[in-house]
Amino acid sequence: MKKIAVFTSGGDSPGMNACLRAVVRTGIRNDLEVFGIMEGYKGMIAGEFRQMDTQSVSNIIQRGGTILKSARCKAFITKEGRKKAYLQLKKVGIDGIVAIGGDGTFTGADIFMKEYPDIKIVGCPGTIDNDLYGTDFTIGFDTAVNTAMDAIDRIKDTANSHNRLFFVEVMGRDVGYIALRSGIATGAEAVLLPERHTDYDRLITEIEKNYRLKNRSIIVVVAEGDEMGGALKVAKTVGKKFKELDIRVSILGHIQRGGRPTALERVNASWMGMEAVKALLEGDKGVMIGMVNNKVKRTTFEKAIKNKKTMNPYLVELAHLLA
Ligand code: F6P
């Protein structure tokens, strides 16, 4: 293997820069030429490759977002799109790729490698959602949880001052990992997760107990993918029941995707980036590098995408118990 490429794809996440820095430097220190592909699969199809040197990734470990930019690319879903991408890679002579992204990125990579087996692809899990099997933490998750925690702490100050009931929506289209951890970390009165059936009656009892009897503020953290709908919908339903309550909704949104990555994020992302290049040098392909029990672990793309990660039941219990 002489030339490798790296790209970031799908929703950006804090720590992607740290990961790509590690890929570039590990590659160069192992005598590889390393190219950055701009805007994920879109740039691959368009041939937007930039040769990277050690300096090109200096001073980025602390920055959120991704210097290579990111995109969701419809053209790569088509056979023609993938063929164009293959021809562009061949033109430059690239034989190995590190893909930093989520399930959509790995699904594309898996299909591509089946069609063009001479290009080896290894993945690093980049998404704030933490929804990939084969890793305890995805790149961006820890930072997103800390950002949500910080925001909820602030909301709590104002909620307390007015004895208000707040529904705070955090990201997680299909999963509730950010909701669960930020809820525990902020002592939320309830956390609504897509993975668990929302017991509406229990929620009402909880609100009644806390608000009516103690006359104080309440924070309910809602994952955007919760079955009752987002925070606005839940607030509307609950509002019908408690007409006299002062209810507010706060949707944290994309604030959770940006910002300086935490120390844990930077270290894990760098470690996974280094391991991805090592995997390519060993001739491995079609695997995602994850962190399991504080060690790097390789999981096939197929498993990472298809297998369902199970939510830690002890953390769910903890959230209920301490609310
Ligand atoms: O994939 C991460 C995620 O943050 C989801 O939780 C969220 O629903 C989605 O991205 C929103 O992304 P975008 O606005 O880029 O479509």
Residue 278 burial class via C-beta count within 10 angstroms: exposed 0-12, middle 13-18, buried 19 and up? middle
For residue 216, what pLDDT band results from cuts at 50, 70 and 90?
confident
Question: What pLDDT does 56 receive?
Answer: 98
Q: Is the CB of residue 233 less than 8 Å from the CB of residue 251? A: no
Question: What pLDDT does 279 receive?
Answer: 98
Extract the tokens encoding 298.
Answer: 């390789």
Ligand 1 atom closest to residue 128's alpha carbon, by position in its atom list: 2
192 vs 34, 145, 162, 183, 232, CA distance in Å? 44, 15, 23, 9, 13
Question: What pLDDT does 203 receive?
Answer: 92
Query: In sequence order, which residues have a C-beta less than 8 Å from that of residue 50 and are 6 or more positions away?
Result: 35, 36, 38, 56
35: which strand partners? 5, 51
Question: What pLDDT does 176 receive?
Answer: 97
Question: What pLDDT does 286 receive?
Answer: 98
Angle, to 10 degrees, between the axis of helix 231-241 and the axis of helix 200-207? Answer: 70
- Ligand 1 centroid to residue 284 C-alpha, Å: 30
- Ligand 1 centroid to residue 252 C-alpha, Å: 12
Q: What is the mean pLDDT of residues 91-109?
A: 97
* pTM assigned to the model: 0.97
* Structural domain 3-140+261-306, CATH architecture: 3-Layer(aba) Sandwich (3.40)
Question: What pLDDT does 244 receive?
Answer: 82
Q: Is the CB of 252 under 6 A from ligand 1?
A: no
The Cα 267–Cα 39 span in angstroms is 24
Question: What pLDDT does 227 receive?
Answer: 92
The protein residue with its alpha carbon nearest to ligand 1, atom 1, reads 11
Query: Nearest to residue 41, comparing CAs of 118, 117, 121, 130?
Result: 121
Question: What pLDDT does 212 receive?
Answer: 72
Fold of 144-258: Rossmann fold (3.40.50)
Question: What pLDDT does 266 receive?
Answer: 98
- Ligand 1 centroid to residue 55 C-alpha, Å: 31
For residue 211, what pLDDT band results from cuts at 50, 70 and 90?
confident
For residue 13, what pLDDT band results from cuts at 50, 70 and 90?
very high
Q: What is the mean pLDDT of residues 224-241?
A: 94
Catalytic residue IDs: 129
User: What letter does residue 261 receive in the DSSP assignment?
Assistant: P
Pocket mutation for ligand 1, best pick of 171, 177, 180 (most atoms within 8 Å of C-beta): 171
Instruction: Give residue-wise pLDDT tens across range 101-147.
Output: 999 999 999 999 999 999 999 999 999 999 999 999 999 999 999 99
Q: Is the CB of 103 under 6 A from ligand 1?
A: no
In the numeric block, the tokens 């019908």 are attached to 240
270: which strand partners? none
Question: What pLDDT does 246 receive?
Answer: 92
Domain spans in the chain, listed from the N-terminal domain onward: 3-140+261-306, 144-258
Question: What pLDDT does 238 receive?
Answer: 94
Question: What pLDDT does 210 receive?
Answer: 83
Q: What is the mean pLDDT of residues 69-78?
A: 95
Q: Is the CB of residue 323 less than 8 Å from the CB of residue 315? A: no
pLDDT at residue 196 is higher than 80: yes
pLDDT at residue 28 is higher than 80: yes
pLDDT at residue 90 is higher than 90: yes
Instruction: Give residue-wise pLDDT tens across range 239-277.
Output: 999 888 899 999 999 999 999 999 999 999 999 999 999
Question: What pLDDT does 261 receive?
Answer: 98
Q: 3-140+261-306 with 144-258: one CATH topology?
A: yes
Instruction: Give residue-wise pLDDT tens across range 145-156.
Output: 999 999 999 999
